[in-house]
A and B are shown apart, each in its own frame.
Chain A
Amino acid sequence: MQHDIDAMIADGVLSPETAEAVRQWYQRQQPPKPQQGNRLMLIFAVLGSLMVATGIILIFAHNWDELSVTLKTILAFVPMLIGQIAVGYTLWRKQDMAAWREASGGWLALSIGACIALVSQIYHLPGELDTFLLTWLVLGGGLIYLLSSSVVAVLFLLGATWYVVEAGYGYRTEVGAGWPYWVMIAFLVPWYINEVKRRPSGFFAGLMHFLLPLSLLFGLGMFAKGGNNGLMWVANSSLLGTFLLLGLWLAQKKLAGRWNGYYVAGLPGSVGVLLAGTFTDFWKDFNRSTSYSDLNAGAWPGILAFVITLAAIYLLVNKCRRVTPTQWYLPAFGFLVFALLWFASRAFLPGAAAFGANVFVLLCGVWMLWRGQATQSFLRLNTGLAVIGLLAILRFFDTELSFVLRGVIFIGVGLGFVLANYQLIQKKKSNG
């Protein structure tokens, strides 16, 4: 380019002043080299710092037993002190820089746990993991709002989930042990809602859309006390139905994009629970005498099943009210069908409940297939086919049909896969 400009000046096409203006314009289009260099420096600086820090830790670890208790105690506090200084500096001078907020917040959050763990180790303190996790979460949780830190929020949710499993599961724990988990979720929700409003397509909002539903499923499990309680199944099914309806709402409001964890958990979860209900033995288990774990769970399963189902019905009615019946989302009714089948299994034969589940799952598969065709979506079409195919496979194991008949059914489903996809491809081609 420089050669061409010189040639144009020599031929009188460009004046020297114009040529200089052209050179400067090209220079402005290039990415600033010093910034690229700074980024590389930052990466190497971080790597170098991590290596140095790791080396220091290893040297201390090797000589740990020879250090006095006082020195060990001081060293235990150092990472936390560094984190607190970093957070203080961030709040004072770098509050607008996300990298500073996230890095300092993440460091301090982790170093709080390290400090408590090291002090416990130095003084051989007793204590269970759930108490340690709870203390750590309480001391670090405030950083979420102080720094508006997404990294700390994600770590907090993971920690809270771990806590509820440690504190709430197990046959020797009290009913309701692990209840602080729900307080922690309530504490996190305002940040979450704000993050979704501020950056609906952001990475952390999307990550929370996946992590929070999973965490809530674990949280609900603390009320089961390990028993196979029918009402806990109803509660779980209704929770999955709630997730599905929330996922549909988020998609409608364009608040989730591809990161719609509620939909991803809710749809397969709702259908999956009903697929489990297609077996007669599944309903028979709920009608035998209650186990110790069921008795230990007390009234919680009933209360939860009632409250969550009510909440899900409210969301379902709201969704259905706004559209015509032909636009209703059939799998969203799954939780309601499951709850009704549970009652049916208690009142009638478990076989009737299983039959009902089979009919509904088949209808869901056909509905998804039809919707896939109507919206020309391969994903929806094949999801419907997969549901029908899975139902056929499950019936393979517990029916007394002849091998010939089972073979015919499988061939039918397989041909259905091929023909439905072929038809959709042709339809898309003809529509351009």
Chain B
Amino acid sequence: MVKKILLPAFFVLLIAAQWYVPADMVLQSSNVISKGTLMRFKCAPVDPKDPFRGSYIVLNLDNRDFPLPPGHDFQMNEKVFVSFETDSAGFAQIKTVTKQKPRGMRDVLETEIDYISKEDGKPVATLEFPFTRFYMDEFKAPKAERLYNDAMLTDSAGTYAIVHIYYGKARISNVVVKGRLITDWMLNKPAKITP
């Protein structure tokens, strides 16, 4: 009798958990992309593989460094909150890095300090950005990488990642190469106005 009740109950709980985790991933990501603030980040490519998610372009983002004040108490792997501003070329630049959660969190990214180094004797924090991978069809990724490398040499201003930031979370939705979405390049679609 107990087994007749417990077994179905356990099954239902297990199914609920198996749906909850990926569904939460989908909902959070959709939320960030639809409601988040769109920002453009400059990048540089490599083409490695993830054993489960496939091939991806690594987006080595240009502007991950932030100078720290002398006598700072930041540490490697410490959680921080990053706010951004847009430069004259329209790319996102780090504005502030704080340990405490700021009041206006909407456009703020929650992340960690990757490492702290010194430049000209002054401490600099390099931040971890959670949008460094853009997954692609494994047969198209090498072609995308070549396109990208060429673009970085000839048109770096027209090459960037489109990222949405929303209350601490960030999601990358696409990569622009020479003014065109990389997905459109791979599908040979005509150029359209890009964000």
Contact = CB atoms under 8 A, between A and B. Distances in A.
Interface of A: 61, 64-66, 73, 76-77, 80, 84, 87-88, 91, 108, 112-113, 115-117, 119-126, 129, 132, 135, 139-140, 142-143, 145-146
A119 B54 contact: no
A240 to B, nearest CB: 31
A10 to B, nearest CB: 64
A122 B137 CA distance: 11
A346 to B, nearest CB: 35
Interface string B43-85: 0000000111110100000000000000000000000000000
A113 B52 contact: yes
Given A77-B22, A91-B8, A64 B52 contact: no
Contacts of B15: 84, 88
Contact of B131 (A65, A66, A73, A124): A124
Which 9 A-B residue pairings sit nearest by Cβ, starting from the closest? Answer: A126-B130, A123-B29, A117-B52, A121-B53, A121-B135, A142-B14, A124-B172, A119-B22, A115-B22
A121 to B, nearest CB: 4
Contact of A66 (B7, B172, B187): B187
Contact of A117 (B53, B134, B187): B53
A129 B137 contact: no
Contact of A126 (B17, B33, B54, B132): B132
B165 to A, nearest CB: 13
27 contacts: A65-B186, A80-B19, A91-B7, A91-B8, A91-B11, A113-B52, A116-B22, A116-B25, A119-B22, A119-B25, A119-B26, A120-B25, A121-B135, A123-B25, A123-B26, A124-B171, A124-B172, A126-B131, A129-B51, A132-B52, A135-B21, A139-B21, A140-B18, A142-B13, A142-B14, A143-B14, A146-B7
B52 A65 contact: no
B25 A88 contact: no
A271 B26 CA distance: 53
Interface of B: 7-8, 10-11, 13-15, 17-19, 21-22, 25-26, 29, 33, 50-54, 56, 130-137, 140, 171-173, 183, 186-187
A153 to B, nearest CB: 15
B171 to A, nearest CB: 6
A125 B25 contact: yes
A135 B20 CA distance: 12
A118 to B, nearest CB: 8
Nearest to A74: B26
A149 to B, nearest CB: 13
Nearest to B138: A61
Contacts of A125: 25, 29, 171
B18 A139 contact: yes
A91 B56 CA distance: 40
B4 to A, nearest CB: 11
B11 A87 contact: yes
B18 A88 contact: no
B127 to A, nearest CB: 13
A142 B11 CA distance: 9
A128 to B, nearest CB: 10
Contacts of B29: 123, 125
Given A76-B22, A125-B25, 14 more contacts: A65-B137, A65-B187, A66-B187, A84-B15, A87-B11, A113-B52, A116-B21, A116-B22, A120-B52, A123-B25, A123-B33, A124-B135, A143-B14, A145-B10
Contacts of B131: 124, 126
A56 to B, nearest CB: 17
Contact of B134 (A66, A77, A80, A124): A124
